[in-house]
Structure formats: C-alpha cells, structure tokens
Amino acid sequence: MGYITIGVDIGGTKTHLRGCLDQGTDRDLVVRTSEWRSGAYDHDIAGLIALIRRFAAGATPNSIAIGSHGCDDEEECAVLQQPLSNHFACPLRVVNDAELFPLAMGLSSGIGVVAGTGSIAVARDQKGKMHVAGGWGWVIGDEGSAPGLVREAGRAVRLHIDLGGARSEPLVEALCEAFGLNSPTNIGTAIAKEGSAAALGRHAPVIFYAANEGSSLAKRVIDEGAAALTQLVHHLMLAGVPHKDIVVGGGGHSRPASFSQCVLPSNFQSFRGDSSGHLPRQAAGFRRLRYGAATSHGRRSLRGLNHLSTQGYPMIYRSTIARQPDQFRHTLEVVGSQLRDFDLVPFEKGTVVVTGIGASYEAAGVVAGELQRRGRRANTWRAVDLMEPGDPGDAIIVFSVGGRSIEPIAALTVHSRLPSLAITNEGNDPLSRAASAALRFESGPDSLPSSTGYTGSLLAGGLLIDALCGEDSFNWNDIPLIASEV
C-alpha cells in the first residue's frame, strides 16, 4: 500500500486528518472529536490510534504530526506524544492546535491565536520553549471563542433586562429564539444546560445576526471578544515572545469575515512590527496579521503541519501539482455547467475592470490582457485603488480563491451600482455574496505557494472569456492531458 504522511488537527468540535501518499495523492477525513475522545486517557489514546490506522487504510505512516486542542503546555503534549510514538514506528510530534496556524501560512514561527470552540494564544520563544495565554475553558474563560461569546451575550442580555431594557432588542430576541425561551430571565439556566463548549458554541452565529440587525448589545459582545483575544497576545509579549507574525483562526464562528477580518484588525493595531506588506490598512502596524477562516483551520493548517517533524511540506506541494489534471477536468465541468445558464449581458459591453489580491491579481492581469487581445476594453486595477470612489469602468470582475479578502469586498461595496462578478474557489463566501453574480471553480485545497487556486482561476477566466467573446481556436479539454504530460 506504500507510505503516507499524516497530519491530524484535533479541535474541540471536529478532528481533521489529511494524508499525502507517496505517489502524490491526498486524502482527507473529518470526524466529530466526540466520536473517539471521551476524556478518559487510555480510551482516548486507543481511539486516536484506531482513527489514524483507519485513515491510513493499510499504508505505512512515514511521519505523523498532530495539533491538539487541550494540549496547553509541553507536559500535556508529551503525555499524548509518548504513547503514540511508542505505537507508530515513524517520526511523530504533538503540539497545541494553535501552533498550526503560523505553519499553515508558510511561517517557521509566530503567534497562533485560536478563536473557535476555545480561545488560546500559543508561541515559542527563540529557545523553543512553549508559551501559552488563555485556554482556561468556557466556564471561567475562553473569551472571544464561540462559547465565550454566547456566555457573554447571555450576561449582556440579563444586565440589559435588569436595567429595564426592552425585550425587542435584537440580541434578546435572537438568544430567546435560539434557546427556545419565553422569557430572557431564563437565559442563564439555558446556557448552563448546554453542558459543553461545543454545544454552547453552536449558538454563536445568532450574535452576529443580531449585530447585523442593529443590536448594540451584540456589537459590544463581539468587540469585547476581539479585545480579549488581543490581550492574549499582549500576555505572550510580556513573556518576551517575538510577535512580528500573528495568525488568527478557528472554526467556532460561522461569520469569520465579520469577526476576524473586520473586528480584529482594529484591536490588533496597537502592536508594532517591521513592515506593512500584507495587511489590511487599519492594521498596518504588523509585519503580518493573517486570518484563517473555518476551512483554513481544517485544510491549510494540515498542509503546514508536516513541517513539524519531516520535510513533508514540499511533498504536499508536489502532490497538489500532481492532482491538477484531475482537478482541471472537474473545473472544466463545474464552470462550463454554470456558464450555460449564466447571464452575460451585464459584462458584454463597455470597459471591464479586473482585480484581485496576490496570486489572484496576477490571474486578473492575464484575463484582462486576453480580453484586450480579443478586442474588449479591459483594465487591471489593484483592489486597494478600487476601494476609492470614482468611475473605474462599466463592470467589475474579481478573482479571489478564498473569497474573503477585505479590499475586494470593500471595492464592490463602494461600486455597488456596477454589475460585478466574483470568481472564487467554493462560491459560498463573503465576496460571492457581495457581488451581483458569482462563479465557482472548485479547485480543491491549495498548497503554499498557490497552485490549484491560481490555475483554477485562470481556467475559469479563460472559459468566461470564451463565453463573452466567442470561442477561440484553443480546445480547453486538452488542458488536463497537457498538464499530465508536464
């Protein structure tokens, strides 16, 4: 069956396993953590071993790296690592799951901040010593986590009622509906009955809903949660941990664009780093402040995880390249199917503005150039420039693999009168919702540097150009064969 490199991301709610076989193919498995983890030490070790064995499906593990929720110091990591190392005859390492985030962004070090089923900030100093802030559990801490937000929302509602506030306040109504309550005075009992962080955290989306409905209570709860996460980083700084790279992520909030990309930058701007290269403008004090959405926690973090114990990271990149022929076939089918029923009229006349961030901006340049070659007026704009009011053109096409970049979303908001098209990987993202139309290309999980995300963007762009301008002499169905030959 060959060999397999395995990464395991153990969260409070779900466990995500990713494997790379020696022939270059990937596999994934996501299960609820409660399916194998009961809290009894011997049972949990046996359950994790069985889960990894089942995932390997007969292949021999040649390295295993694990990021685990609940391993909040080096001793706890060692307690889990030792029996697993005794069982598996390969390099194996266990770290806290927050340590996955910097690795997932291609960084060798940095502060990882989890805001999911729990909240914790973890980093290592220059000597490799582990430093932790937070991770106290939802009963007494974990501010900024999903259950922490719900708990604090309950407190805010009770205080609001005690002070004579109206029942019609959106957060009061939202929590009562979520918990099935006739009276907000029973919110404390309802929260206690949930019994676990995962169960309580599932109600977090209603807080963001209430904030969107104009709830000042909900907005304050969200702001205070973000400020609490910032304080965790301050605690690590006081311990002397380098803080030029800070990566925030977690799967506990279903509205990461609202929380991570909009609220957190204004809270983290008090830190000072070396440059502002990759930042939202309001957070330019960092060298890097990056965000992992819910999918990032599951997918991207597992790609970086293998760097912990082996040289598996380049292997993951090679495997991503190796699966591109099959991915191209899928993208051709998915995009072609959408274009058959797509309303092209808003994009057929006038000047088309094409934009994106990073690799997506490079894809935008290729698409704009090809439109020009076909006789269409098209220009490439940087998303940050497109955020300014004005008259850039007659329609906007935005490329973004994840669909969560702040600048393109802001640009579409500024130019909401123009028809706009978002071209993203999965389609169900903030950018696609902000645009008047959307195409998804489903290129699957990507590696660092970008590979399938970039080529998927180009393929979707090429098919769109043919739909707008008429088919060229090139046969797109030849792409998978050409890629396999390369």
**Residue 166 class from Cβ within 10 Å (0-12 exposed, 13-18 middle, 19+ buried)?**
exposed
More confident residue, 200 or 296: 200
Give the span between the Cα atoms of 147 and 196, in whole angstroms: 9
Question: What sign for the dihedral angle of Cα 52, 57, 61, 67?
Answer: negative
Rg (CA), the chain: 24
Lookup: tokens for 220 = 């304050």
pLDDT tens digits, 252-267: 544 444 454 444 544 5
Give the span between the Cα atoms of 71 and 298, in whole angstroms: 18
- pTM of structure: 0.51
Give the per-residue pLDDT at 225: 85
Question: pLDDT class for 21, splitting at 50, 70, 90?
Answer: confident
CATH topology of domain 111-243+252-292: Nucleotidyltransferase; domain 5 (3.30.420)
Q: Is the fold of 3-96+301-311 the same as that of 111-243+252-292?
A: yes
Question: pLDDT > 90: what percent of the chain?
Answer: 23
Give the span between the Cα atoms of 19 and 199, in whole angstroms: 29
| DSSP labels, 414-461 | HTTTS-EEEEESSS-SHHHHHSSEEEE----S--SS-SHHHHHHHHHH
Assigned CATH for 3-96+301-311: 3.30.420.40
| DSSP labels, 77-125 | HHHHHHHHHHHSSS-EEEEEGGGHHHHHTT-SS-EEEEESSSEEEEEE-
Most confident of the ranges 29-33, 185-189, 449-453: 185-189
Architecture label for domain 323-485: 3-Layer(aba) Sandwich (3.40)
The residues spanned by each domain of the chain are 3-96+301-311, 111-243+252-292, 323-485
